């Protein structure tokens, strides 16, 4: 049982670390602001979830677990709001996104 929990922690933390590294890499590599927001959003969601769930496997049933879950909840609620505020502010400021023209609103109608 102890071993299974340890292995679970290893797997989850390693996966989370890998996702975080990809996120940092994406922040450098992606071409413009709007695409970089997606990379930032990845750290906000799955990476946080994986790392904190991995940690909570080690703490057992205690108040520490509750706090870990609460941090996940806070990050999940505040993350998208901050992303939206950022995207909206830069859009209002007139920053144009680089598009590949695959499905711009003109040449491909959305399905309502």
5 is an interface residue for another protein by CB under 8 A: no
CA atoms of 57 and 4, how far apart (whole Å): 10
Q: What angle do CA 21, 26, 32 make, to 5 degrees?
A: 160
Instruction: Please give the helix or strand (H or E) that residue 14 lies within, else none.
Output: helix 2-29
Whether 79 contacts 41, CB under 8 Å: yes
Q: Which of residues 48-77 bind another protein (CB under 8 A)?
A: 48, 51-52, 55, 58-59, 63-64, 66-68, 70-71, 74-76
Q: Is 110 in the site for another protein (CB under 8 A)?
A: yes
CB 108 → another protein: shortest distance, Å?
7
- Options 1, 3, 4, 102; binder of another protein; rule CB under 8 A: 102
């Amino acid at each position: 049982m102890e071993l299974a929990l340890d292995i679970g922690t290893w797997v989850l933390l390693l996966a989370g670390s890998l996702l975080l590294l990809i996120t940092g890499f994406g922040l450098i590599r992606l071409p413009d602001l709007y695409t970089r927001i997606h990379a930032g959003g990845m750290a906000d969601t799955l990476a946080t979830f994986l790392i904190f769930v991995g940690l909570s496997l080690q703490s057992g049933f205690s108040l520490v677990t509750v706090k870990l879950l609460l941090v996940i909840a806070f990050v999940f609620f505040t993350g998208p709001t901050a992303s939206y505020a950022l995207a909206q502010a830069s859009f209002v400021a007139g920053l144009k996104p680089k598009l590949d023209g695959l499905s711009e609103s003109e040449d491909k109608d959305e399905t309502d």
